[in-house]
């Protein structure tokens, strides 16, 4: 896994990141519920070069889908109803790094804390704060869940282009799907009432 440069607002394992109220025991139970195994972590790590090299292309593809749908794109618009290009650029850098992290970071306390941070950055608690933006203050939870399909399924094209095939391709695709589901499930926690998550 590579952190290409110092990315503004990328607070992984830094004091600025949130502290997750989810315990490591609860995380292990969540992983078991998703069918996540050490083999999934191993295959993502084995192919981390793909994610490292193709992360920006993946994000560009996903952002193109967002850009084509006003109901998604509007969460990057300023008060005048126009795209905030500076905000979009800052978020993109962190999104690209998320792809790399998702393939290679261990699911430890720092990882768990940063998922809480990402979730908060989609809610009024922290959306816009990191980048001093003035976009809408909430990305509705329904869009985080629904967009999971795009992120999980469209990555297959990049795996194939990198020469992964057969059973290995299916294992990599399955691991990526589970990884994305785990991330989004953790991001959902700040949207819920205490005791309901």
Residue 14 falls within a domain, yes or no? Answer: no
The closest of 116, 128, 117 to 91, measured between CA atoms, is: 128
Q: Give a yes or no: residue 3 inside a domain.
A: no
Whichever domain contains 73, its CATH number is 1.10.490.10
Query: Cα–Cα distance between 57 and 159 in angstroms, integer?
Result: 12
Q: How confident is the model at residue 2, as a pLDDT? A: 54
pLDDT at 59 over 80: yes
Is the residue at 135 inside a domain? yes
Q: Is residue 164 part of a domain?
A: yes
Q: Is residue 120 part of a domain?
A: yes
Span 107-127, mean pLDDT?
98
Number of domains in the chain: 1
Q: What pLDDT digit, counting tens, does each position of 24-41 carry?
A: 999 999 999 999 999 999
Residue-level pLDDT at 139? 98
Instruction: Tell me if 16 is assigned to some domain.
Output: no
Angle between helices 38-46 and 48-67 in degrees, nearest 10:
90
Average pLDDT over residues 71-100: 97
pTM for the model stands at 0.95
Q: In the prediction, which pLDDT does 6 show?
A: 86
Which residue segment(s) compose the domain that 92 sits in?
A: 24-191
Can you give the C-alpha Rg of the chain in angstroms?
Answer: 16
pLDDT digits (tens, 9 = 90+) for 136-182: 999 999 999 999 999 999 999 999 999 999 999 999 999 999 999 99
Asked if residue 9 is part of any domain, the answer here is no
Q: Would 165 be classed as within a structural domain?
A: yes
**Residue 4 to residues 41, 59, 127: CA-CA distances in angstroms?**
22, 15, 24
In the predicted structure, residue 185 carries a pLDDT above the cut 80: yes
């Amino acid at each position: 896994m590579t952190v290409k440069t110092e990315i503004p607002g990328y607070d992984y394992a830094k004091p600025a990141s949130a502290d997750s109220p989810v315990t490591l025991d609860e995380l292990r139970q969540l992983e078991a519920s998703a069918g996540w195994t050490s083999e999934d972590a191993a295959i993502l790590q084995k192919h981390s070069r793909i994610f490292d090299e193709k992360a920006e292309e993946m994000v560009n593809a996903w952002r193109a889908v967002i850009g084509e749908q006003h109901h998604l794109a509007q969460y990057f618009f300023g008060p005048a109803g126009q795209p905030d290009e500076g905000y979009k650029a800052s978020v993109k850098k962190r999104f690209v790094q998320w792809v790399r992290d998702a393939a290679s970071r261990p699911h430890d306390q720092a990882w768990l804390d940063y998922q809480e941070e990402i979730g908060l950055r989609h809610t009024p608690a922290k959306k816009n704060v990191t980048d001093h933006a003035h976009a809408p203050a909430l990305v509705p939870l329904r869009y985080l869940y629904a967009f999971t399909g795009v992120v999980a399924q469209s990555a297959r094209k990049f795996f194939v282009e990198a020469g992964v095939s057969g059973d290995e391709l299916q294992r990599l695709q399955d691991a990526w799907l589970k990884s994305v589901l785990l991330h989004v499930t953790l991001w959902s926690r700040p949207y819920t009432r205490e005791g309901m998550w």
